[in-house]
Amino acid sequence: MVVPFEPDSDHLAAWKPESWKQRTAHQQPNYQDQQKLTDAVDIIARMPPLVFAGECRNLQTRLAKCATGEAFLMQGGDCAESFAQFSANNIRDSFRVQLQMALVAMFGGGVPVVKVGRMAGQFAKPRSADTETFDGTELPSYRGDIINGPAFTSEARVPDPMRLVQAYNQAAATLNLLRGFATGGYAGLQRMMEWNLDFMGRSDEGRAYLDLARRVNEAIQFMVACGLDSRTPIMTETEYYVSHECLLLDYEQALTREDSTTGLWYDCSGHMLWCGERTRQLDGAHVEFMRGIANPIGVKVSDKMDPGQLVSLVATLNPENTPGRLTIIVRMGAEKVRANLPRLVEAVRDSGQVVTWVCDPMHGNTECVNNYKTRRYERIRAEVEAFFDVHEELGTVPGGIHLEMTGDNVTECLGGGSSIDEADLNSRYHTHCDPRLNAEQALEMSFYVASRLAQRKDRLAAGAKPTAILK
């Protein structure tokens, strides 16, 4: 059984699920009614877990392969899940485009793809300021539907603890549907021609996907003719995991349960949790909480991260140096990756630490155009390109990609094959937080990733060897 550490590990001696309360917790809401918060947390603590410890261990095994280049992580979904936009169709479309992206990367890149959604828990958003001002009126910042409402009114912006319970219920419903999609036949490879979203049939990316799907289908038919059982789970089911930022510590603690099999504590709000750029303080509450849970975890780092601090942070979060335990999600901006990523990768590599390196090309490339927060596809791709280039130059492993994206036909990010320009932004700008790649743009990105994975595979076959994992 693969676990990140043992229950009697030295680093757990002073750790409890509530020990984070002894540290400074950043980015927490200012609840006006503490008794109401206590009541909401008590309700959640009595609820069943959303995910199970065994599923988390399976994901850790898959992520360990991403660290060595034997697999590739594709993690994506909404910037922040919405109560108002919650529907089965939205969940289905997001799941479907991730299936498409995984198929492209697997077939084109020649490696298994680990599929992780920013779903069933990605409700809260860190903010750079506690308040925001519009037309001379200052109100508390919108921090995600799990905390307050997006409407710019004093009533909507009051943090409401009962939103925690609503978020739990929506996460449970989302996971129920995702599990049905993943194991009920919808994700079967023989249905891949049916995965194409209607509005993508007229796009270059949609046509490219259909062409690839036909080729995969021909390969499957050949394998069936050779004796492959088309009813085997590998043909009819898929593994799908969920993740979110570990931000609201009251919510996360309420869903942290002791696993009867291993004696370890798992945060059962999601399979994978990550610590954000604003909450990764080595002596902070979020790192204190995350160092003790046994889930696969991640930490987001920008160009501001010092290499020595990163080595210390990795040692704190992954004390046993277990493959698959820790993912470093890099978010720097297209221009800064080439200058700043090498020193971080080299520091971690030279320390002998085992991590999975993942590129988040979204958060460092945000700008404002015509009063809309947006991102340019070309800059997003440039950051992914730089990420692959740096690892190629160092002989290390690009382990995955982390995207804010949707299966909807939105116009939130500029450029790409869908040719969204500045005049299009107000057409279908549906996000109430950060701009997301639409389905065409996300699929276009997957084709690029597949090409880089194929190039890497060819180089390794020609004799080059990765040096990312040192033990």
Binding residues for phosphoenolpyruvate: 118, 277-278, 300, 331
Residues at the binding site for Mn(2+) are 79, 363, 404, 434
* Helix residue spans in 47-203 (DSSP H): 53-68, 88-109, 162-183
C-alpha dist (Å) from residue 348 to 90, 268, 310: 39, 29, 8
Residues at the binding site are 79, 118, 277-278, 300, 331, 363, 404, 434
Q: In whole angstroms, give the CA distance from residue 205 to residue 450.
A: 13
Structure tokens at 143: 């921090």
Structure tokens at 470: 């040192």
* Helix residue spans in 1-133 (DSSP H): 34-46, 53-68, 88-109
Q: Is 340 exposed, middle or buried (0-12, 13-18, 19+ CB in 10 A)?
A: buried
Structure tokens at 165: 């319970």
Strand partners, 273: 244, 297
Q: Which helix (H) or strand (E) holds 367?
A: strand 366-369
Q: Which helix (H) or strand (E) holds 266?
A: strand 265-267
Q: In whole angstroms, give the CA distance from residue 327 to residue 400.
A: 9
Q: In whole angstroms, give the CA distance from residue 319 to residue 353.
A: 10
SS3 content of the chain, % helix, strand, coil (to 5): 40, 15, 45
User: Are the beta carbons of 401 and 358 closer than 8 angstroms?
Assistant: yes
Q: What is the dihedral of CA 199, 200, 203, 208, to 10 degrees?
A: -160
